[in-house]
């Protein structure tokens, strides 16, 4: 039980054992919805077969009793809208509270708080307060009075709402949550901390201050983004971790920006100061034999077990982050969700509510929280059934300035936290100069999160003693603010004075020795850093079987027994008894798939995908695909989930399979996560999932190929460079519909050139590298797509995979594959030679192409007499890593070819040409030239004028010959 909230205030104690239903003293569970099962069919018309679907956990506090309702009517002037009590709770709570240590917001008396405005001038008049306001007894504030004078009421409200903590919760639409919050706040019973607890707070504050002073003295030219002025952040996190540990949380996933990161790492998360100082001096955090690029000082991360005296410690994993503020937030949310899912799938926590064992903590800066759109996108995921992690605790370290921009220029809202009201998130504002109030506010925030499994915000209103970094001069732009700051004692010194005045510490030399000892400890670590040799910070546990790829292991066999594939295909469209499917789905999807699979010679794209998913499920792996409309598919091709046309109940047929004798394994699950209309947050979320679960096929599908550009920051700072910077592998797959079907310039291209530019493949083909940072493919057959999906989990390493997936090929009569191309012994082919060429020595011209243009070129060649055996069309299916050996072999067969052409639909400055050309030309025969044929350079990926498009496409296809 918390030391900061008494038993009377903690209205509903969270379940300590997941397999027992929560016992509530004054609340009842309205929905016993578990991790993957809805108990609210009226609201969510999905059945239990929807793996991963989680409805919100709902609590209801008892409604007002008859006596309370009668009393509210009798004293209507106390309870009517905009009347006295509501004004105190809804307005006086934050604007009149003393939450700003710098008093920039000018806390003042609110005129609406004058009781005379409501016809209640007599302060001595007694009122029945039952059902209106909780007024505590003098001895025990948690025990409420039935009657109180107006003077007592106002005094109590001032104490509850106008102290150093301000609350915003009246905007929450749920009455139960509002009542819970009001009773908790009005039962103000802040239990006095014991001496040891006060000493713990002082120790953390002092260590943070000493660390910043040590760094300033030893490394005066290093930008460390210190915590001076906001040291109470340490108290927030220490309290959160302690409360979480006591409530049974095993894992905390933490993300944060640069401010105070080094303080937290060394002072609370037990990061080795020797390793830190080694890095500060310009050395690598990796051993010399690891080729990783590393990252800057303020992006370091760690994971640690923290022991707070409970049976098991709490594991805290701080994530690496890029310089782009808030970009790590959805990654942390995805990782936290995946951790809880892993526990369920491993059979460890089958009856847990989501969030019982894992908590996500997201740290923010005040300017970034209201300024970065990814915050809004991530908040939008908080309560979605396939994205919720059971409630995040957000901590805004509010310096009241963004770099050099004051709040009046940084946001249009009163508080930086106001954007969170979009999800009805309660906010607790607290004055960072008062660490004990900070601890109490944090305990309240955790209690709310742990009960309602929803997001909550702690707005830690503080200041920044130095500039944006320690080399800045903040007085250039904020002279008055910094005159105020530099005249203030530090937070640790203020708390030291409090402890001295309370008699907790009577000998000041004890305090001085604490600081001196820590400074000397850091000095010893600095000395040790000169001989320090870093160890590889690679992940263990679930990732312990992963290796660095070599050429010999990049091409695993991924074929599956044909009878198993047929069985999977049948079951992928098996309609549960009583389900009524749409007639078009029945005719063009279900019946068509069964017919094609039974024939075994013309399997289409969606069927190959279903067989890839299903075969992985039978092998015990899980598959998650998310994005906008992924259940049906943007082009109505997937239909992985079937919707009953009468009840709207939904089922995923692949989750109803049973393991066959050939697999003999526990079946995995397919999670279809139709997402919000977000790219940035959702892609970041899926990347976080992929970080946590190496044996899950994680896929994000863009609605159209170029929609990824709304998430470019995640691609640039995580997907393409995460392994190089942090040694963290990811097997995330990005499906990007790509192709020139005259769909308009905004939808025609997945901008494949951008991904290829980000690839670190060698330009020198004589020195190829298997360990490229990403794989980029443009498959032209369903079998190729089948194999490349399965390959993601069959290799003993993980790499992000970018797939330029098709649009027109989804139903193209020639873009089909026989089941034999997916049978045992088959695998993904990085290069597909021209199987129609009977005599390679007769070939005079070789055309290299990638993707769906191949079919148009084949059709054009067939229409021209005499070209069947003189022009070869070679498909490059994998663009990165460039398939050098395969290309050498194919090129070597055309001994008499005189013309070599690379053809693409995209403009010359786009597409794959600029990446392939400098590498491919090194593989051609001596003296041979590689010609380009395609559209001219262009600013837009395609024209939106249909007549011009048709003319251009005709020129591309015909001109190739």
Residue pLDDT, tens place only, 324-355: 999 999 999 999 999 988 888 776 666 667 88
What pTM value is reported for the model? 0.91
Please write the tens of the pLDDT for every residue from 650-660. 999 999 887 65
> So what's the pLDDT on residue 29?
32
- The whole-number pLDDT of residue 112 equals 56
Q: Is the pLDDT at 94 greater than 60, yes or no?
A: no
One domain, residues 249 and 355: yes
Residue ranges of E strands in 391-478: 392-398, 401-402, 405-406, 427-431, 456-461
Helix and strand totals (H; E) in the chain: 31, 28
Q: Which of 426, 425, 399, 437 is nearest to 239 (CA)?
A: 437
Q: Which residues are within 8 A (CB) of 726 and not within 5 positions of it... i.e. 6 or more apart?
A: 292, 295, 301, 320, 537
Q: Are residues 804 and 723 in the same domain?
A: yes
Query: Residue 403's pLDDT band (boundaries 50, 70, 90)?
Result: confident
Residue 171 shares a structural domain with residue 243: no
Residue 80 and residue 167 in one domain: yes
Chain centroid to CA 479: 39
Residue 395 lies in a domain: yes
Is residue 492 included in any domain, yes or no?
Answer: yes
Domain range for 949 is: 833-960
What the block records as the tokens of 401 is 């300035």
For residue 85, give the 3-state DSSP assignment. helix
In this structure, are 167 and 239 located in the same domain?
Answer: no
The CA radius of gyration of the chain, in Å to the nearest whole number, is 32
pLDDT tens readout for residues 823-846: 999 999 999 999 999 999 999 999
Spatial distance between the Cα atoms of 669 and 672, rounded to a whole number of angstroms:
10
Ranges 75-89, 184-198, 804-818, most confident: 804-818
Strand locations in 268-342 (E)? 302-306, 314-318
User: 3-state secondary structure string, 245-278?
Assistant: HHCCCCEEEEECCCCCHHHHHHHCCCCCHHHHHH
Lowest mean pLDDT among 189-203, 619-633, 768-782, 931-945: 189-203
The total number of structural domains that make up the chain = 4
469 plus 392 within the same structural domain: yes
Q: Using pLDDT thresholds of 50, 70 and 90, give the confidence band for residue 377.
A: very high
pLDDT at 34 over 50: no
Residue 465 and residue 425 share a domain: yes
Residue 39 lies in a domain: no
Decide if pLDDT at 690 tops 90. Answer: yes
Provide the 3-class DSSP secondary structure of residue 191.
coil
Q: Which of 797, 788, 804 is nearest to 755 (CA)?
A: 804
| CB-count burial class (<10 Å; 0-12, 13-18, 19+) for 805 | buried
In a domain, 342, yes or no: yes
Q: Strand 392-398's sheet: what is its strand order?
A: 165-168, 427-431, 456-461, 392-398, 358-365, 251-255, 314-318, 302-306
C-alpha–C-alpha distance, residues 213 and 492, integer Å: 13
Same domain, 143 and 239: no
In a domain, 603, yes or no: yes
- 804-826 pLDDT tens trace: 999 999 999 999 999 999 999 99
User: So what's the pLDDT on residue 446?
Assistant: 96
CATH label of the domain that carries residue 898: 3.40.50.11610
DSSP-assigned letter for residue 823: S
> Over 50: is that where the pLDDT of 583 sits?
yes
CATH of residue 606: 3.40.50.12470
811 and 846 co-located in one domain? no
The model's pLDDT over 888-930, given as tens digits with 9 standing for 90+, comes to: 999 999 999 999 999 999 999 999 999 999 999 999 999 999 9
Tens of pLDDT, residues 541-559: 888 888 877 665 668 899 9
| In a domain? residue 428 | yes
Q: Are residues 800 and 905 in the same domain?
A: no
Question: Are both 581 and 644 inside the same structural domain?
Answer: yes
């Amino acid at each position: 039980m918390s030391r900061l909230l008494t038993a009377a205030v903690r209205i509903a104690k969270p379940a300590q054992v997941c397999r027992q239903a929560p016992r509530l003293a004054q609340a009842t569970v309205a929905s016993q919805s578990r991790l993957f099962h809805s108990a609210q069919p009226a609201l969510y018309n999905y059945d239990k077969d929807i793996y991963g679907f989680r409805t919100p956990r709902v609590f209801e506090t008892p409604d007002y009793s008859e006596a309370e309702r009668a009393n509210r009517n009798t004293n209507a002037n106390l309870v009517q809208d905009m009347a006295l009590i509501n004004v105190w709770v809804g307005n006086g709570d934050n604007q009149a509270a003393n939450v700003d240590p710098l008093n920039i917001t000018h806390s003042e008396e609110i005129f609406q708080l004058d009781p005379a405005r409501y016809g209640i001038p007599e302060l001595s008049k007694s009122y029945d307060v039952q059902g209106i306001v909780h007024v505590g007894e003098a001895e025990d504030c948690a025990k409420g009075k039935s009657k109180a004078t107006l003077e007592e009421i106002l005094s109590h409200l001032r104490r509850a709402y106008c102290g150093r903590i301000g609350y915003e919760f009246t905007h929450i639409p749920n009455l139960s949550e509002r009542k819970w919050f009001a009773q908790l706040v009005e039962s103000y019973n802040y239990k006095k901390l014991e001496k040891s607890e006060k000493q713990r707070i002082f120790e953390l504050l002092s260590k943070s201050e000493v660390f910043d002073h040590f760094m300033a003295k030893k490394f005066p030219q290093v930008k460390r983004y210190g915590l001076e002025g906001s040291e109470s952040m340490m108290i927030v996190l220490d309290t959160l971790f302690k409360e979480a540990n006591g409530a049974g949380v095993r894992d905390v996933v933490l993300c944060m920006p640069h401010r105070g990161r080094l303080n937290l790492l060394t002072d609370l998360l037990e990061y080795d100061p020797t390793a830190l100082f080694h890095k500060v001096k310009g050395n690598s955090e990796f051993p010399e034999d690891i080729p990783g690029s590393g990252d800057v000082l303020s992006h370091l991360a760690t994971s640690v077990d923290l022991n707070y005296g409970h049976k098991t410690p709490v594991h805290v994993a701080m994530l690496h982050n890029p310089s782009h503020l808030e970009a790590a937030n959805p990654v942390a949310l995805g990782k936290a969700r995946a951790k809880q899912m892993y526990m369920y799938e491993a059979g460890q926590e089958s009856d847990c509510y989501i969030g019982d064992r894992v908590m996500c903590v997201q740290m923010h800066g005040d300017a970034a929280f209201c300024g970065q759109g990814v915050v809004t996108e991530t908040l939008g995921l908080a309560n979605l059934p396939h994205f919720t992690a059971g409630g995040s605790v957000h901590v805004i370290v509010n310096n009241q300035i963004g770099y050099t921009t004051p709040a009046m220029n940084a946001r249009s809202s009163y508080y930086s936290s106001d954007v969170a009201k979009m999800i009805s998130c309660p906010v607790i504002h607290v004055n960072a100069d008062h660490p004990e109030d900070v601890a109490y506010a944090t305990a309240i925030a955790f209690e709310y999160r742990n009960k309602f499994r929803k997001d909550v915000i702690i707005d830690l209103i503080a200041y920044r003693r130095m500039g944006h970094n320690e080399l800045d001069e903040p007085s250039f732009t904020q002279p008055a603010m910094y005159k105020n700051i530099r005249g203030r004692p530090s937070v640790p010194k203020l708390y030291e004075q409090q402890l001295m005045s309370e008699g907790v510490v009577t000998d000041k030399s004890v305090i001085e020795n604490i600081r001196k000892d820590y400074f000397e400890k850091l000095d010893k670590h600095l000395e040790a850093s000169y001989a320090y040799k870093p160890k590889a910070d690679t992940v263990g546990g679930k990732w312990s079987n992963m290796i660095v790829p070599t050429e010999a292991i990049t091409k695993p066999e991924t074929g599956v027994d044909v009878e198993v594939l047929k069985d999977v295909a049948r079951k992928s469209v098996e309609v549960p008894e009583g389900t009524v499917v749409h007639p078009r789905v029945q005719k063009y999807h279900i019946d068509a798939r069964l017919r094609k699979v039974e024939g075994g010679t013309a399997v289409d794209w969606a069927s190959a995908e279903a067989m890839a998913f299903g075969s992985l499920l039978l092998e015990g792996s899980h598959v998650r695909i998310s994005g906008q409309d992924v259940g049906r598919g943007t082009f109505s091709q997937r239909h992985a989930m079937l919707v009953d046309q009468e009840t709207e109940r939904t089922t995923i047929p692949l989750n109803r399979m049973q393991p066959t004798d050939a697999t003999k394994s526990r079946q995995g699950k397919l999670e279809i996560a139709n997402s919000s209309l977000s790219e940035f947050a959702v892609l970041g979320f899926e990347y976080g999932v992929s970080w946590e679960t190496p044996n899950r096929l994680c896929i994000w599908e863009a609605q159209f190929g170029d929609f990824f550009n709304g998430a470019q920051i995640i691609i640039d700072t995580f997907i393409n460079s995460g392994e190089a910077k942090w040694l963290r592998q990811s097997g995330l797959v990005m499906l990007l519909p790509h192709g020139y079907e005259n769909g308009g310039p905004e939808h025609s291209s997945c901008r494949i050139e951008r991904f290829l530019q980000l690839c670190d493949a060698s330009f020198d083909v004589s020195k190829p590298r298997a360990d490229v940072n990403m794989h980029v493919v443009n498959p032209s057959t369903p079998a190729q797509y089948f194999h490349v999906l399965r390959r993601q989990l069959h290799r003993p390493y993980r790499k992000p995979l970018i797939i330029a997936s098709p649009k027109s090929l989804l139903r193209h009569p020639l873009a089909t594959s026989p089941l034999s191309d997916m049978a045992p012994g088959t695998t993904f082919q990085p290069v597909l030679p021209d199987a129609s060429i009977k005599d390679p020595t007769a070939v005079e011209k070789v055309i290299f192409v990638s993707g769906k243009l191949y079919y148009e070129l084949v059709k054009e060649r067939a229409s021209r007499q005499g070209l069947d055996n003189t022009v070869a069309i070679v498909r490059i299916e994998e663009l990165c890593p460039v398939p050098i050996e395969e290309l050498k072999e194919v090129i070597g067969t055309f001994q008499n070819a005189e013309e070599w052409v690379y053809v693409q639909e995209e403009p010359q400055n786009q597409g794959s040409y600029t990446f392939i050309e400098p590498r491919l030309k090194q593989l051609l025969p001596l003296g041979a030239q590689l010609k380009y044929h395609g559209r001219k350079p262009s600013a837009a990926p395609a024209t939106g004028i249909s007549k011009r498009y048709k003319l251009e496409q005709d020129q591309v296809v015909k001109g190739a010959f």
